[in-house]
Structure 1
Amino acid sequence: MKILVVGTGLFGSVVARDRAQKGDQITMIDKRNHIAGNIYTEKIEGIQVHKYGAHIFHTQLKEVWDYVHQFADFNRYTNEVIANYKGKIYNLPFNMNTFNTMWGVITPAEAQAKIEEQRQVLNGQRPRNLEEQAISLVGTDIYNTLIKDYTAKQWGRDPKDLPSFIIRRLPVRFTYDNNYFNDPYQGIPIGGYTQIVEKMIDLPNITVQLNTDFLDHKDEYLRDYDKIIYTGMIDQFFDYQFGALEYRSLRFETKVLDTPNFQGNAVVNYTDAETPFTRIIEHKHFEFGAGNKKETVITHEFPASWHKGAEPYYPVNNPTNDSLFKKYRDYGIEHAPQVAFGGRLGLYRYYNMDQVIAAALQFVRNEKNFS
C-alpha cells in the first residue's frame, strides 16, 4: 500500500515502522521543522532539553517497555516532584512526607485521621467535580494549598467546573515514598527522545517531509494515497464543520543559566495563584547532571488558552466535547474511510507516551485497518 502518515510523533511513527516492515511505501509529513512531535528533545550545552515540557516514560506494560528499548537505553530516573507553595516545599505525590510538612503528623493513622476529619465537609456525598474529588482524597488543607490554584492555572477554570475523573487516579500514599508513579517501569532515554523516533523510522521505504502542512494539499493527498494515518486535530481535518473542540495550550520559556544547579530537582511545581507559570523544569537532572557542569538549562511552563492557530496540547474531556468528538469520529467513518485518526489529537484523548504506543500497536495488529 501507499500510506501517508501525518505527524511524526509516537503514534504515527509506530504505525509507519510496522507497515514499512510489511512492505508498504510510507511517506511521513510534519508541519514542524523536526520529527518526534511533542517528545522532541534538543541538545543544548550538552543537556537534552525537553522542548515541549517534561516527558518521563513510565508504564505498566512490559510489551511497551521492551518495544521502546529497541531504540534507546533508559536510565533509572524516578519522578520525584517538588511543589513550591509561596516558598514552602512539599513532596508530590501526596505521601507521608507531604502530610508531615502540612500537619506535623508522623504515622499513617494520624494522616488518615486528619484527612477523614477534613473530608466531613462533603457530608458523605459522592464527589461531583474535581474539587470534591480532591477533598475526598486528601482533605481541604492539601486541596487548598497544592491542588486548587495549580489546577485552575492548568485548565483555565475553577476546579468546581472540572469533572472529578481528572484527579481520580491521583496517587495518595501513606508511606514515605516520593516516586510519583506506581508503574513498575520508568526512566528517561539516555541521549534524549528524538533518537527513538529517528531509529524507529529509519527504514528504506519511509520518507520524511518536514515543514509540510497536510491541510495545504488535503485534496491531493486524499487522491494519491491508499491510506492516511492522521494524528492532527480531528475537528480541524473536517474544517470545524460541527464546531471546534476545546483544547488547552502551553507556552515555554527556556533559558541557559550560568550556574551548575538552579533548583536541585528536574521538576518543581508552583501551586499558588500568584505565580503565572505552573512549573520550572531543570533538564540536566533528567540525566543526573549530564552536560555542561558550569551551566544549566531551565524551562518555565505557562498554561495558555487555546484558539484556532495555537498549538493544542491537551484535550478538554467533558461530556460536551466528548459528544462532539464522537460526532466527528462517526462522520469520518462514513465520509473519510481511507483516513484513520490516532494519537492524542486524532482520538481526542489524554494519552501518556506508553498509552500512545500501546494504541498504535493495537491499531496495526488489526489488519482490517489496512484492507
Structure 2
Amino acid sequence: MSSSYDYLIVGSGLSGAVFAHEATKRGKRCLVLEKRPHLGGNVYTEMREGIAVHCYGAHIFHTDNERVWGYVNSLTEFNRYINSPVANFEGALFNLPFNMNTFYALWGTKTPAEAKAKLESQRVHYDREPANLKEQALSLVGHDIYEKLIRGYTEKQWNRPCTELPAFIIKRLPLRFTFDNNYFTSRFQGIPSLGYTTLIAKLLSGTEIRLDTDFLTDKQGFKALAKKAVYTGMIDAYFEYALGQLHYRSLRFEHEVLDEENHQGVGVVNYTDAQTPYTRSIEHKHFVYGTQPKTVVTKEYSLEWQPGMEPYYPVNDAANQALYGRYAEAAKAETRDRGTIFLGRLAKYAYYDMDQAILASLEAAEKELDL
C-alpha cells in the first residue's frame, strides 16, 4: 500500500508548524497530528474578553536573527512590545533584569560606581568553584539579591533547595549598570498583535490536521500513512522509555477574568518570595496595549512533571544529560534507518527560545527538502 502523505508531522507547535509550512510550499503533502484539542502547542493563544490570552504562559518573541524576524513578520504582524517584568518580594517591587533601578530600590545607590561597590561588598569569594546554585549566586551578586530576588523564585521553580541545584543553572546573571528595564538585549522583540494562533494558522494553511490525536497510541499505524515522519514530542516517550525516563518540569495555570481595566500595570510579575505559591502573574492585555474594560490574569505554578502532564522544560543535570545522550544515539539510528526527523525542545531535550525552534526547523526543512 502506498503512503498517502509525504510527511507525517507530530505536533503543531512552532517546530512542527514551520516544517509543515516549508514542506507544503514545496508541493509536499503533509499530515499534522496534534494530541491537544487545539493547534499551536505551548504558544497557543485564545481570545477572552477581546484579549489574546497566552494559555501556556507568557511568550515574548525576541531574536537577533534578521532572517527569523523577517520570516514571522511575513506571516502576521508583530508589535513592538518590550518585556520589562517586575519582581514582587513580600510586597516590595523591584525592576528586572538587575539594573540601576533594582539597585536603587535595594540600597539607594544612585550611580554605577556606587552600585558596583555595593555589589562587590556583598559578593562571597570562594577559594574553589561554587558547589551549588546558592554559592554561585552569592559569588555573583551577594546576599541581598540572592535572598530577595533569586532564592524563593528558583526553589519554587525547581522544587529543590538552591543548595541541591547545580551551579551551572545560573552560570551568569545579567547585571546592567543603566536605568534600562528591557529584559532582553535582542535586536528584535515583539508579540503578534492578533495572538500566536494567527501565526500557527498561517504556517499550517493548506496542511491537513488531526486534533485530539495521540501519535504514540499507534506509532506504527500512523507512520505507515506517510513516507517520512517528523517528531516533535518527548524523545524518551518515542522510544517507549526503553532506556529510562527523562525528568521534566511542568506548569499549571489559573486564568481569571477580572472586572477591572488594569490589574498589575505590567505584563509579567515574578513572585520571588517563598510564601507566594505561584511563580508568576501574567496580565495578557499589556502584551498588545489593550484597552478593554476587563482584564485576564494568569497565575503560573511550577510542578514536578508526572506522566499525563505537559512537559515544559528539561532538568538538565548530569544524569539526565547522560541519559539523553543515549536517546540521541537511538534517534540518529532511527533517522538513518527510517528517515524519522527529530525536531524541537522535547525531541532534543533542550530549552529552546522561539526563534531557536523556528531556525532549527527552517534549517532541517532546507536540508531535507532542498536536495
TM-score over 0.5 for the alignment?
yes
Q: Which of 156, 161, 166 matches 1:158?
A: 161
Q: Does 2:39 match 1:40?
A: no
Q: Quote the Cα distance in structure 2 between the aligned partners of 1:218 and 1:105.
A: 60
1:1-371 matches, within 5 Å, as 2-119=6-123, 121-203=124-206, 206-290=207-291, 292=292, 294-335=293-334, 337-367=338-368
Q: Which structure 1 residue ranges, 5 or more long, are not aligned?
A: none
In the TM superposition, what is the alpha-carbon distance from 1:180 to its structure 2 partner?
0.3
Matched letter for residue 91 of structure 1: N
Identify if the C-alpha distance between structure 1 residues 325 and 370 changes in structure 2 by more than 3 Å, giving closer, same or farther: farther
Q: Do 1:74 and 1:189's aligned partners in 2 also have CA atoms closer than 8 Å? A: yes
**CA deviation profile, 1:62-110 (whole Å, cap 9, x unmatched):** 1111110011111111100100000000011000110111111111111
Matched letter for residue 299 of structure 1: T
Q: Quote the Cα distance in structure 1 between the aligned partners of 2:31 and 2:328.
A: 24
**CA deviation profile, 1:234-270 (whole Å, cap 9, x unmatched):** 1011111111100000000001011111111111110
Q: Which structure 2 residue ranges, 5 or more long, are not aligned?
A: none
Q: Quote the Cα distance in structure 1 between the aligned partners of 2:176 and 2:159.
A: 28
Q: Quote the Cα distance in structure 2 between the aligned partners of 1:142 and 1:253.
A: 28
Matched letter for residue 102 of structure 1: L
Q: Quote the Cα distance in structure 2 between the aligned partners of 1:335 and 1:286.
A: 41
In the TM superposition, what is the alpha-carbon distance from 1:192 to its structure 2 partner?
0.6
Q: Quote the Cα distance in structure 2 between the aligned partners of 1:322 and 1:209.
A: 33
In the TM superposition, what is the alpha-carbon distance from 1:124 to its structure 2 partner?
4.7
Q: Do 1:246 and 1:321's aligned partners in 2 also have CA atoms closer than 8 Å? A: yes
Q: Quote the Cα distance in structure 2 between the aligned partners of 1:91 and 1:63.
A: 31
Identify which range, 329-338 or 97-106, moves more after superposition.
329-338
Would you say how many aligned residue pairs link Structure 1 and Structure 2? Answer: 365
Q: Do 1:171 and 1:180's aligned partners in 2 also have CA atoms closer than 8 Å? A: no
In the TM superposition, what is the alpha-carbon distance from 1:113 to its structure 2 partner?
1.1
Matched letter for residue 357 of structure 1: I
Identify which range, 311-320 or 214-223, moves more after superposition.
214-223
Q: Do 1:150 and 1:270's aligned partners in 2 also have CA atoms closer than 8 Å? A: yes
Q: Quote the Cα distance in structure 1 between the aligned partners of 2:7 and 2:170.
A: 38
In the TM superposition, what is the alpha-carbon distance from 1:169 to its structure 2 partner?
4.3
Matched letter for residue 344 of structure 2: G
Aligned residue for 1:297, secondary structure, equals strand
> What TM-score do the two structures reach when normalised by structure 2?
0.95
RMSD of aligned alpha carbons: 1.5
Q: Do 2:36 and 2:213's aligned partners in 1 also have CA atoms closer than 8 Å? A: yes
Q: Quote the Cα distance in structure 1 between the aligned partners of 2:68 and 2:370.
A: 22
Q: Do 1:122 and 1:132's aligned partners in 2 also have CA atoms closer than 8 Å? A: no
Q: Quote the Cα distance in structure 2 between the aligned partners of 1:225 and 1:345.
A: 22
**Percent of residue pairs bearing the same amino acid type:** 51
Matched letter for residue 283 of structure 1: H
